[in-house]
Amino acid sequence: MILKDLRPLLANLVAEMEKTVPYAAALAQESEGERLWVDSRESRAEALERQQGVVLTVFTGRIFLEYALSGLSDPDFCSRLSQGAQALVKTAVDAGVLEPGLTIDPGTPLTRDFAVFPVVDPAEIALPDKMADLVNLRDQLQSGDPQVVNATAVYSQLVSRELFVNRARSLYQELPRVQIVAQIVLRQDQRTARLHTGHCYQGGYEHAHLAPEKIDRLREDARRILSAPRLTPGTYDCLFSPDFAGIFAHEAFGHGTEADLFLQHRSRGQDYLGQPVASPLVDLFDSPVLPGQAGSFFFDHEGQLASATQIIRQGILTRPITDLHSAVRLGLPRSANGRRESFARKAYARMTNTYFGPGPHTFAEMLADIEFGYFLDHPSNGMEDPKGWGIQLEGLYAEEIRQGQLTSRVYSPVIVTGYVPDLLRSITMVGNKLEITGLGTCGKGHKEWVKVSDGGPYLRLQARLG
């Protein structure tokens, strides 16, 4: 069944359910793709498991209830979905919760199809040609270097199709995405260094290649960290790369401004709305409307049209990101952040593309401003405590800066810890070039994974390193 063919059925089910409940909606999803892998020992290709299904949602004026069903291609799917809608309404009635209460605005009436169109359709590239491109990337990574014990090139492609229907809206979107990752492992005596690079963008096979300078940088930085010592712990002047600024943005004001955490009183940021929490130089955004970025879309999984949310404006915490539930409960404006891992999972307030806005400074100006400190790059992991506003960022590369110059002395690994407002308030310079990376996914706790991207310009700040 073509997903768009479900439009009449879903519209009828929504109308039928709303004879009893004050609000109903439906979301149909399907995804398919492939993953190719080449390393120094093996090659493999696999189709990603196809996901198909529908989730029905009703709101009773007090609580949300849902019913999900897979097997879109089954002959009896439509009848089973209709039965599920009836059972969902009966559950609401049997629970005795139907009562006047909170209301949901279904949005201005709109019927529209959206799509991202690849420049080069991956389906038009033969599998042997794709594998040959990966073999060539692997060989560039190895490049006859005896210290390279493994080099890996991974290509993946995914197409997501989604149809949202409520009484006012019927929205369809098709989102193709291509990701390419290169990883290198070096060994010298008993030491090993592992480093990766890559990108993920909406579109097609035009994104299946890495620039030669990016590969050269990966190999050079991996060699540098192979023999790098640990730095002496302390508080230092730092220059964050755009990648490191990205993980900082994601962890500092990612989960902490997801408004469903406000409902659980698990975010300290809730107490600081409208107050300064950062340097006046700091602007922070979450935006699913950045063209071509991995975390972008046209509407979220609750039918909210995509738009940018400015979380911090000139150092002031202005607003959180919301899903439908948190917006209704807290009386907050909705943002396009109601996202599901799949039709079989609950919608939560989730990040999309989260990033620091650009500023006025060049990299050379920022570097020259540091008498002694470190340039941090190649982030590897991060975590935050939204309730206590603590943060920990892990990276693989810290290059010494002395008298405004990079010294080529590298330390690895490096850990950044601190209190989020202290780190944000210490920002004294913000770079003028914005870079976004889309390799990441984000879990809600340890599960509920969705695709995100993050980034920013170079940031000059003080941080406690270990």
Segments forming the whole domain that contains residue 216 = 122-165+172-224
Angle of helix 212-226 versus helix 127-142 axis, rounded to 10:
40
DSSP conformation letters of 79-120: HHHHHHHHHHHHHHHHTT---S-------S-EEEEEE---SS
Task: State whether 87 and 130 are in the same domain.
Answer: no
Q: Are residues 192 and 246 in the same domain?
A: no
SS3 percent helix, strand, coil of the chain, rounded to 5, is 25, 40, 35
pLDDT tens, residue by residue, 246-292: 999 998 877 788 998 888 888 888 889 999 999 999 999 999 999 99
Q: Specify the pLDDT at position 409.
A: 98
Is the previous residue joined to 413 through a cis bond, with omega within 30 degrees of 0? yes
Mark whether 454 and 308 lie in a shared domain.
Answer: yes
In this structure, what CATH number is given to the domain that contains residue 126? Answer: 3.30.2290.10
Same domain? For 96 and 126 the reply is no
450 and 441 Cβ atoms separated by less than 8 Å: yes
Whether the per-residue pLDDT at 147 is higher than 90: the answer is: yes
**DSSP SS3 for 432:** coil
Residues 337 and 459 in one domain: yes
Under a CB-based contact definition with an 8 Å cutoff, are residues 73 and 50 in contact?
Answer: no
Same domain, 424 and 319: yes
Residue 115 counted as domain residue = no
CATH code of 25's domain:
3.30.160
Residue 42 lies in a domain: no
Average of per-residue pLDDT across 41-53: 95
Which DSSP state fits 357? Answer: P
**What is the percent of the chain where pLDDT is above 90?**
87
Model confidence at 100, pLDDT cuts 50, 70, 90, reads low
**Is 348 domain-assigned?**
yes
User: Both 184 and 279 in a single domain?
Assistant: no
Residues 341 and 400 in one domain: yes
Domain co-membership, 399 together with 437: yes
Stretch among 20-24, 138-142, 250-254 having the lowest mean pLDDT: 250-254
| Position 41 in a domain | no
Q: Residues 151, 69: one domain?
A: no
For residue 52, list its beta bridge partners: 30
Does position 145 have pLDDT exceeding 90, yes or no?
no
* pLDDT at residue 308, as a whole number: 97
Residues 171 and 250: their CA atoms lie apart, in Å, by 29
pLDDT, tens digit (0-9, with 9 covering 90-100), for 152-192? 999 999 999 999 999 999 999 999 999 999 999 999 999 99
Q: Is the pLDDT of residue 99 over 70?
A: no
| Separation CA 284–CA 119 (nearest Å) | 31
- Residue 99, judged by CB atoms within 10 A of its CB (0-12, 13-18, 19+), counts as exposed
Q: Determine phi and psi for 230, rounding to 5 degrees.
A: -80, 145
Percent of the chain with pLDDT over 70: 98
Task: Look at the block and give the residue holding tokens 């991974």.
Answer: 154
Average pLDDT over residues 34-63: 95
Query: What's the confidence (pLDDT) of residue 385?
Result: 85
The structural domain count of the chain equals 3
Confidence of residue 447 (pLDDT cuts 50, 70, 90): confident
Instruction: Quote the pLDDT of residue 289.
Output: 98
Residue 319 lies in a domain: yes
Does residue 57 belong to any structural domain of this protein? yes
Residues 308 and 431 grouped into a single domain: yes
Q: Is residue 38 part of a domain?
A: no
